[in-house]
Structure 1
């Protein structure tokens, strides 16, 4: 953690420099606001429209969290089943891969047709986006467990359940958290996509209304808040990882 904080100034400096270049270029080239607003104009619009934007932001947060929990729970459950039942893994693992070959932007309208314009199809979209990274990451973590340690526990008389709970699952935790980081950012993307298809509130709805009225500054406000939300979720997952996997945090702080 100390190492991360010590290096944190580098990306912050790069972002600040990019914003300064963007601001200067917009002013020198007199770029129209409707085409590419300057960062200062985007910030002013974000502050001015916060009262109208706030409920959209909160709605997307709630939808992202619910979908993330559903996707992660389903993904870990699928990974555990496929790992403990090799025959099931051989039969269904190719289907798991094929499920990601269908573009979510194509599948989402079908979910709306099947389940209507309520919350359910939106949660399903986020779940479908989130479950794959965590499933693959968990499966890889389970399979990378040292075979020597597995053989040692088998010789000690450990059952399959004990080997999984005391060896394979703890060993797979770093891989699982890697999948969680990806799924956390994907959950926001899935929420925005689901809101595009049919909703009365959310960042996706706000972006659609802003785009249709050529309010490019509001579109960028929504984009920056999406980036902030993804970064916030990512930081929360990292913090949770540091708390639960203390041996890894100790190694990184050395």
Structure 2
């Protein structure tokens, strides 16, 4: 019942969309949800067997790199004030540059290979992981750390048994943002320069003025983003059960 309001809002939105699309009656501009579903079913073999695996691979590689890179940078900044003061402004500046402007440069550097799309995905996703993890590691109480030291704990013990547990909720918050952004990053990379993938297929359908064909891969990308978010939420609930009891 707690999700009933969400389901109701989605149904109302889709109903308005369906009615509006039928009134406009220009499917190449605004296809209806039913037309999109039918097109998705019609193209299921091409989308699911040919283009989906490529997009998923880009997303997963990008996320793995972002998690490793973002976590490492966050730990480095939290343990060294000089590094923090030097890197934090650069991290902020990296997000000020429009990704859509950098994507063609990545294509020049890496060509139409998978790595140009991975680079776009990493650029978008590593920031929320880095910042949230850093905030979590920095939220420890100095008095508690001193108490650990007086009880004979080493710096490694403090990090693993005190800082990591309090940073985990922050890490997962950043990861939830990152997994949704990873879908956008992969789609943007494929849109601007690719030979396969859901983003590429959507752009190709646009050149054919096939509105439902444009939305069909977007529909699948949306499902991917929702599925990844649910997976991260499930892992978070399993790893941080103590928070659910509060």
Q: Same fold (TM over 0.5)?
A: yes
Q: Provide the residue aligned with 2:44 in structure 1.
A: 50
Would you say the 8 A contact 1:117–1:198 is kept in 2? yes
Corresponding position of 2:215: 220
Contact 1:133 1:183 in 2 (8 A): yes
Task: Give the TM-score normalised by structure 1.
Answer: 0.92
Aligned residues: 245
Instruction: Give distance in 2, aligned partners of 1:48 and 1:243.
Output: 38
The TM-score with structure 2 as length reference comes to 0.95
For residue 99 of structure 2, the aligned residue among 104, 128, 143 is 104
**Residue deviations 1:139-195, cap 9 Å, x none?**
111111223321211222322222111101111100000000011011111111111
Match of 2:201 among 180, 197, 206: 206
CA distance in 2, matches of 1:23, 1:96: 42
Gaps of 5+ in 2: none
The equivalent residue for 2:13 is 18
Q: Does 1:34 align with 2:28?
A: yes
Post-superposition offset of 1:215: 0.5
Match of 1:164 in 2: 159
Moved more, 112-121 or 39-48: 112-121
Equivalent of 2:234 in 235, 239, 253: 239
The aligned residue for residue 3 of structure 1 is: none
Q: Write the distance in 2 (CA, Å) between the matches of 1:117 and 1:49.
A: 24
CA contact (8 A) 1:72 1:183 kept: no
Q: How far 1:61 sits from its partner (Å)?
A: 1.2
CA distance in 1 between partners of 2:21 and 2:9 (Å): 18
SS of match in other structure, 1:186: helix
Mapped to 1, the partners of 2:214 and 2:112 lie a distance apart of: 24
Question: Hey, what's the Cα distance between the residues in 1 that align with 2:34 and 2:121?
Answer: 33
1:130 aligns with 2:110: no
Relative to 1, partners in 2 of residues 1:137 and 1:20: Cα closer, same or farther, differing over 3 Å? same
Calculate the aligned-residue CA RMSD, in Å.
1.4
Q: CA–CA distance in 1 between the matches of 2:92 and 2:162? A: 27
Task: Find the aligned partners of 2:89 and 2:188 in 1 and give their Cα distance.
Answer: 26
Could you tell me which of 172, 181, 196 is aligned with 1:186? 181
Name the SS for the 1:7 alignment partner: coil
Q: 1:8 aligns with which of 3, 13, 29?
A: 3
After TM superposition, list the pairs within 5 Å mapping 1:80-99 onto structure 2. 80-99=75-94
Quote the offset at 1:30 in angstroms. 4.5
Q: Which runs of 4+ in 1 moved over 6 A?
A: none
Relative to structure 1, the CA distance from residue 197 to residue 23 in structure 2 (aligned partners, 3 Å threshold; closer, same or farther) is closer
In the alignment, structure 1 segments of 5+ residues that lack a partner are: 1-5
